[in-house]
Structure 1
Amino acid sequence: MSLLKIFDVAGSGMAAQSARLNTTASNMANADSLASSEATAYRAKQPLFSAVQQQVTAGGDSSPGGVRMLGISESQAPVESHYEPANPMADTNGYVYSSNVNPVDELVNMISASRSYQNNVEVMNSAKQLMQKTLDLGK
């Protein structure tokens, strides 16, 4: 594998972790949201990823592996209902519905995604330093 393809692989990993951080931030922002029905309550979202294998074409060229985002899935965990008849968002029975976001899980996701992003940055920096040292050998 060419050294330049390391940047493609690490870059796809960084893009994946960035998407993960964005969905986690969205979940955290909506953790305390209320809705007037179970169907309209905010549900936690998670990105879906797939590993991409390195592929060699007939001409000898190869496309690097990495990570590809398949989409975003919505949690099927139940939402909680609270009896608050004075709330303006309450349904006819006096219930409001909160999101199914677990802030502790989202915090763990955020820390994990941040560290994975940082690891990909370190891979890129190491590859850059190796290339720089290789160029310095020619001087």
Structure 2
Amino acid sequence: MSMFKVFDISGSAVSAQSQRLNVVASNLANADSVAGPDGQAYKARQVVFQTMLMGASGSAAGADPGNPVDGSAGVRVSTITEDQTPGRKVHQPGHPAADAEGYVTFSNVNAVEEMVNMISASRSYQNNIEVMNTAKTLLQKTLQLGQG
């Protein structure tokens, strides 16, 4: 595996974790919302990752299927799903969004779970940046050896 593939692999992870952070931010922003754009309560979204085979060119295509050492694996976001758990209901008969029984349905976002998700994504993002910085330092030291 080429040293430069480290940048492709870590770069794909940084991109995926960035999307995950955006989804978490959206969930947290809508944690106490009552109605979304479609008139229904906001449903929490979750990112689903998928392994992506990266070929010699650093893209998902181009790996030699007969040579498994040629291809390396990265990660990408395959889908963003909606959590179908029912939202919490609060009895507020005077609220404009209350149903016939006086209950208001809020989003199903669990703020504590989303904060844990955010910390996990943030640390993964930082770790992959650190991997790229370490690879860059190793490449610079290799070039310095050639100059001496």
1:79 aligns to what?
Answer: 87
The amino acid of 2:83's aligned partner reads S
SS of aligned partner of 2:4: helix
The amino acid of 2:143's aligned partner reads L
Mapped to 2, the partners of 1:62 and 1:16 lie a distance apart of 23
Query: Is the aligned partner of 1:57 residue 2:85?
Result: no
2:121 aligns to what?
Answer: 113
1:28-43 superposed matches below 5 A: 28-35=28-35, 40-43=40-43
**Deviations 1:57-83 (CA, angstroms, capped at 9, x unpaired):** 279794442002111011121211222
Mapped to 1, the partners of 2:116 and 2:90 lie a distance apart of 27
SS of aligned partner of 1:96: strand
Unaligned segments of structure 1, at least 5 residues: none
2:44 aligns to what?
Answer: 44
The amino acid of 1:21's aligned partner reads L
Mapped to 1, the partners of 2:66 and 2:88 lie a distance apart of 57
Identity %: 54
Structure 1 runs (4+) deviating above 3 angstroms are 53-56, 58-64
2:103 aligns to what?
Answer: 95
In the superposition, the TM-score normalised over structure 1's length comes to 0.89
The amino acid of 1:124's aligned partner reads M
Farther-moved stretch of structure 1 (121-130 vs 85-94):
85-94
Mapped to 1, the partners of 2:42 and 2:7 lie a distance apart of 37
Mapped to 1, the partners of 2:19 and 2:3 lie a distance apart of 25
The amino acid of 1:85's aligned partner reads P
CA RMSD, aligned part only? 2.2
Farther-moved stretch of structure 1 (106-115 vs 84-93):
84-93
Query: Is the aligned partner of 1:124 residue 2:132?
Result: yes
The amino acid of 2:106's aligned partner reads S
Paired residues, number: 137
Shift of 1:102: 0.5
Mapped to 1, the partners of 2:73 and 2:51 lie a distance apart of 7
